[in-house]
Amino acid sequence: MLTDRDIAIRAVAEGCNPKIAMVSEMMSPGVITCYDDQDITAAAEIMKEKKVRRLVVLNHNEQMGDKDE
């Protein structure tokens, strides 16, 4: 996963040129996921346990998708 924060912290703040830096050098390792049919309390607990601010939400086919799909 690559976020705007990754770019700001790992690329710009460290003096890397974001025009030539590789995504693999800036991306967040170890992405944490939850499923789209989990309740919000379970998702919050995952975030608390893993000490993360973002979760990738997947369906049970292990795919990300639009909430309207």
Looking only at the bridges linking them, the beta strands covering 33-35 and 56-58 are parallel
Kindly tell me the number of DSSP H helices and DSSP E strands found in the chain: 3, 2
Instruction: Please tell me the predicted confidence (pLDDT) of residue 11.
Output: 78
Is 2 or 69 the better-scoring residue by pLDDT?
A: 2
Tell me: pLDDT of 17 over 90: no
Tell me: pLDDT of 30 over 90: no
Instruction: Please tell me the predicted confidence (pLDDT) of residue 32.
Output: 94
pTM, to two decimals: 0.67
What is the DSSP secondary structure assignment for residue 56, as one 8-state letter? E
Domain ranges of the chain: 1-29, 31-69
Instruction: Please tell me the predicted confidence (pLDDT) of residue 8.
Output: 85
